[in-house]
Chains A and B, each alone.
Chain A
């Protein structure tokens, strides 16, 4: 019995090309001396060829089927650019669901329900949401309807896929595409009790110090600079004060400070348009499309269009792009011209993403300031 397995091992290695030198000479010797071994080798050669050929045929048949399905799903769906996304995401969903069943089935023997901790569930597991809420500026949601292109205008222009895409997807109102310049100058409003700061969402309370001189004027120290805080109900730039000063004692007074999130300092952006096709699968995909010198961000995901904001952060080292949907933050790659999946990241991931968070206001004690 042992001898037999040993021979099978040699034959297997011979047929798959894994023999080492010693084994090679052993096979040669056996072939010369042992008629039975030579016969066995012939049988296994047939077995290997047979399995390879039948599996090859099976795989080809399967691929034919998968391709037929792929094409059929393309024919049912509307023509145009979105076809690509829809088919693609459908295929992903099918492959994960079917594949998962297959896998569970395989790994548990033959009882797909018997395994109560299948490790494949990871694929669909949901990430926990960050607790921080967001401020999303959106004044004018009815624009959505205005911006939708009437469908009958689009028929008969098959050469322009972008337009067809519009008829399938909803377009995001232009107010929901925002540009933020980083860094930008600091601006504020102040009414004597509350200070609201715009322009740098990365400011922490520890970097600030409030001062009040004998005449009742307020000042703000941020970093090494001192700014004059004249009361203002409109957003004004902070003015630096150049005089020498020292801080005295803490007064029995405090000012509530609110550092506004990045988005509050944004302006509408028109560098590209955004359209959304809602799908029902778990997949969230996007790509950027450039056609007729117009750039378009195409999103395919089960998202609510009114809860989407796309943000362009303009920096000296290049722009970065984000999509915010409710409390979810997704980075976008402007160079993604092929279907790319949206990967959620945490708001606390880096300094830039932290600036999207709406942080609560905090009190700052006021110090006496002497010039």
Chain B
């Protein structure tokens, strides 16, 4: 499968094709490992790079100028360098304030688990709204897909009618959401 074919498949909604990108992970792994990282770090930055790539493709912001493998490698590199910088700052700050790593870890998980979850709440609301609204909203809001592409994928006659549909879907979803509940959710 060529780069162009992969992009075409992704645009058609064949998300599983992202698996193919993992054939390029070797390069990233060895680079990250040479630069103070381990295999897990490499996997993290590579996954991040795939997401960036995928969103750009879906939003129509990706132009096939160089090979996808090169693109992924460049993003991974940048991600890892940023992360190294952040770690350095974090370590400096910690040594200044004098909080040990262990104290910090014990606080964190409790905060994230407290209370009902915004993601779950929306998942339920979207399930009530049903298809095609659920997919249309996810594709436009998360992937940033353009209305022309939405029209093509979901069989609307034009970008304009896809936009109208999206607004109606938002309205429907809003009907399933309570202001008092959602505003407090994280």
Contact = CB atoms under 8 A, between A and B. Distances in A.
Contact of B119 (A16, A50, A96): A50
B14 A100 contact: yes
Contact of B20 (A43, A51, A91, A109): A91
A106 B13 contact: yes
B12 A120 contact: yes
B30 to A, nearest CB: 15
Contacts of A44: 170, 174
Interface in B167-184: 167-168, 170-171, 173-174, 177, 179, 182-183
Contacts of B177: 43, 47
A12 B141 CA distance: 9
Contact of A102 (B13, B22, B126, B183): B13
Given A39-B179, A44-B174, A51-B142, A5 B18 contact: no
A339 B17 CA distance: 16
A52 B55 CA distance: 12
Contacts, number: 146
A5 B118 contact: no
Contact of B15 (A39, A62, A69, A339): A62
Contact of B51 (A59, A66, A110): A59
Given A51-B137, A62-B15, A67-B43, A95 B9 contact: yes
A92 B14 CA distance: 11
B1 A92 contact: yes
A66 B21 CA distance: 10
Interface residues of B, number: 51
B79 interface: no
B14 A95 contact: yes
Main secondary structure of the interface of A (DSSP, over half): helix
A88 B183 contact: no
A95 B10 CA distance: 9
Given A12-B166, A341-B2, A96 B122 contact: no
B19 A99 contact: no
Question: How big is the A interface, by class?
Answer: 35 or more
Contact of B1 (A39, A62, A341): A341
Contacts of A60: 47, 51
Interface of B: 1-2, 5, 9, 12-20, 22-23, 43, 47, 50-51, 54, 69, 118-123, 126, 131, 135, 137-138, 141-144, 153-155, 166-168, 170-171, 173-174, 177, 179, 182-183, 185
19 contacts: A44-B170, A49-B118, A50-B119, A51-B122, A53-B119, A54-B119, A54-B120, A60-B51, A63-B47, A91-B19, A95-B14, A99-B12, A103-B12, A103-B13, A103-B14, A106-B153, A107-B155, A283-B1, A338-B69
Given A5-B167, A51-B126, A67-B19, 15 more contacts: A8-B170, A39-B179, A43-B179, A50-B118, A50-B122, A51-B142, A54-B119, A59-B51, A63-B47, A63-B50, A88-B23, A95-B16, A95-B17, A106-B13, A106-B135
Interface of A: 4-5, 8-9, 12, 16, 39-40, 42-44, 46-57, 59-60, 62-64, 66-67, 69-70, 84, 87-88, 91-92, 94-96, 98-100, 102-103, 106-107, 109-110, 120, 283, 338-341
